Chains A and B, each alone.
Chain A
Amino acid sequence: MAVAQEALDKLLDLIGGDQDSLAELIESFLNESPLLVEQMRRAAESGDRSGLGRAAHTLKSSARDFGANQLSALCEAMEKSCRDGLPSGATTEVELIAGECDTAKQDLSSRLADLKRGGSE
């Protein structure tokens, strides 16, 4: 499982237990995360260290919220290494993150589908 169920339970609790709101949040993540990955990719190519670190920071927090712990850990490592200078294998690292992000998105998408099905029943 790319996504930890307890994180999603916590998130649901935080927003007052409303399944529709959770679905909305997941959709927001599904839309926003590819944009952040794209931002990281461009920053790594152009050597923009702070831009890369910032995007990694944002994705790290969101990923943690949705239980994508593997993705979150990768982003955290990227953010940390950006503090000392542009990491040597930045573009490779970003592709690794992109792959993990896709995995998390697939998992979240199926959960979203479940949520919507559950909501319509």
Chain B
Amino acid sequence: MSIVSETQPPEARATEARIPEGARVLIVDDSGTVRLKLSKAIQTLGHETTAVASGKLALEQVAQNSFDLVLLDIVMPEMDGFEVLKALKSSRATRDLPVIVISALDEEMSSVISAIELGAEDFLPKDFELALLKARVATCIEKKRLRDVETEYLRQVAKLTRAAATLETGRFNPSKLGIRDLANRTDGLGKLATVFATMAQKVYERERRMRQNIRTFRGALLLLACGGLWGIVVPLSKMASLVEAHPVGLAIFIDIIGAVFCIGISVKRQTMPSLKDLTRADWKFILGFAFISSVINQVLVYWVASKLPASIVSIVIVLEGFAVFLFAALMRTEAPNLKRFLGLGLGLVGIFIILLYGEPGEMATSWVWLVIALVVPVTYAAEDIYLSESKPANIDNVALFGITLVVSVLMLIPLAAFYQDFIPFDLLAGRLGVIVLLMAAAGNLAMLLFILLISSTGAVFASQNAYAGTAAGICWSMLLLGEAIPALTWASLALVVIGLLMVEPKQEAEEEPPVLDDSLEEFVPRLDLLPLPTE
């Protein structure tokens, strides 16, 4: 007798399409006539059937497809019903699949008992009545569905538990907790998931706001420290020039002290990169940075400060913020609007009032120097943009600055030689030596803080250190040099500050992290809390 597997897809599919809740029933019997009889009977009840002729084929079917019920003959050649039952119940994937054994009730009661002991759900006599078949099949399928619902419920509880564990770590993304589908449930668990998801969102928002506040606060502190230190550099430079003006020589000494200091720290902290490891791009940045920062900015400020009152130079430097904004707008990294341009105009008007009418007597003789002074904020701004756009991220800030200072000194020496601008050594022993030391400490520390600031907050935010620098510069100028600030200058300065407030970009736009941040995914712990199927 040839035994082949046979399936009844055409009618079965049609049946399933009509009754979507129709169950999938696997029929296992070595007799083709019995398979046909069972298939027709089960299809009459509105279920889909697959019939196979041997235990081996049954296990293959179960491995490949999902079923709601198995009707299993006990007496079969090769692999009998008991072996199939054992195989089904020993696998985690199939142990919950209900099995009804089919037996000739009269003389096989002991077989039925054995089958039920092996995990069969129920039994059906070979010459069953339709009503009995209907009742047993319906009961089994109902049980299976209840169990499926229960398993799904436990799975979702596990999901929620996992989400709670994630929430406890404090770093998570509420959209990635995976409980959105849970919240769609209409039962108590769904309500719990909804409450949980809302709470998680609130906690996330709060944490994010807190982190952002901390960042803003840290930025503001850095800004004030940086500006305050900058501020003292200009009056000190003025004091140095009163002893004897050597702008290039002054820059050389300050850079040497800074270089020794920075490289010393880097070597001690073991953050100094091997010079061989620096790429062409790194050297390109260092050369550019040394040129803008030392050769242009440092020398220019020291030079201008020797010709103009320190408070005026400080006030002019406030324009750095405007210039950075202009550059950023031109480079399209910052959206310009009418309000910002009005602010810009207002600030410029204020500066010109100060420059033109602030101290008429002195100004008249310094016209050329005023124009030169106006270049300072522009080159400062160029430095800001250059730092924020091109600084290599893989090199430690202190080490990078140390190397830059060495390069600066090497660039400044030929310049000093050309202009005969070296500071005579005997002068350094006196008052000038103290000033140089103070300038080196303040200037280099300010520059280091500034690199830190610009790396974490961007050029536009960092350029605001100019305001603090200006305020500090005016105060230090009054304190150290006894420079008087006329009322008109104060009023104009107020105009500049209003202008700056109008230009100032929104801080959130600068530092807000995207709401759906994929990088947070790594903080989600992988807990395998999925429950084992219930017994």
Contacts and interface: CB of A to CB of B under 8 A. Distances in A.
B328 interface: no
B382 interface: no
A28 B41 contact: no
Contacts of A21: 40
A21 B133 CA distance: 18
A32 B77 contact: no
A74 B43 CA distance: 32
Contacts of A65: 33-34, 37, 126-127
B126 A15 contact: no
A58 interface: yes
B32 A15 contact: no
Contact of B126 (A13, A31, A39, A61): A61
B40 A61 contact: no
A21 B42 CA distance: 13
B256 interface: no
Given A57-B75, A57-B104, A14 B130 contact: yes
B107 interface: yes
Nearest to B107: A80
Interface in B8-65: 30-34, 36-37, 40-41, 43-44
Contact of A62 (B34, B41, B128): B34
Contact of A64 (B36, B43, B44, B127): B127
A11 interface: yes
B33 A62 contact: yes
Interface string A3-28: 00000001101111010010011001
A35 B107 CA distance: 24
Interface in B122-148: 126-130, 133
Max chain A C-beta neighbours (<10 A), residue from B37, B44, B133: B37
Contact of A15 (B31, B37, B75, B127): B37
Contact of B33 (A16, A32, A54, A57): A32
A41 interface: no
Contacts of B32: 28, 31-32
A60 to B, nearest CB: 7
Contact of B36 (A25, A38, A80): A25
A64 B31 CA distance: 14
A28 B129 CA distance: 21
A14 B31 contact: no
B275 interface: no
A46 B330 CA distance: 101
B1 interface: yes
Given A32-B32, A61-B127, A11 B37 contact: yes
Contacts of A14: 37, 40-41, 44, 128-130, 133
A58 B31 contact: yes
Secondary structure of the B side of the interface?
A: helix
Most interface-central of B33, B77, B126 (chain A CB within 10 A): B33
Interface in A35-77: 35-36, 38-39, 51, 54, 57-58, 60-62, 64-65, 76
Secondary structure call for the A interface: helix
Given A36-B1, A61-B104, A28 B77 contact: no
Given A14-B37, A62-B33, A32 B44 contact: no
Contacts of B107: 76, 80
Contacts, number: 66
A42 B75 CA distance: 19
Nearest to A13: B130
A86 to B, nearest CB: 18
B77 A25 contact: no
B75 A54 contact: yes
Contacts of A64: 126-127
Contacts of A62: 31, 33-34
Nearest to B125: A61
Contacts of B30: 58
Nearest to B40: A15
B104 A25 contact: no
Contacts of A35: 1
B40 A25 contact: yes
A54 to B, nearest CB: 6
Contacts of B130: 13-14
B18 to A, nearest CB: 14
Contact of B41 (A15, A38, A60): A15
B143 to A, nearest CB: 23
B44 A39 contact: no
Contacts of B40: 14-16, 18, 21, 25
A11 B129 CA distance: 9
Contacts of B127: 61, 64-65
Contacts of B34: 58, 61-62, 65
A76 B33 CA distance: 18
A60 B125 CA distance: 13
A61 B41 contact: no
A29 B410 CA distance: 106
B445 to A, nearest CB: 94
11 contacts: A16-B41, A16-B43, A16-B44, A28-B32, A29-B33, A32-B32, A39-B1, A51-B77, A58-B75, A64-B127, A65-B126
Interface of A: 10-11, 13-16, 18, 21, 24-25, 28-29, 31-32, 35-36, 38-39, 51, 54, 57-58, 60-62, 64-65, 76, 80
Interface of B: 1, 30-34, 36-37, 40-41, 43-44, 75, 77, 104, 107, 126-130, 133
Given A16-B43, A29-B33, 6 more contacts: A14-B129, A15-B40, A16-B40, A16-B41, A61-B31, A80-B107
Sorted nearest first, the 10 A-B pairs with minimum C-beta distance are A16-B44, A15-B40, A35-B1, A28-B33, A61-B126, A58-B31, A14-B41, A14-B130, A29-B33, A21-B40
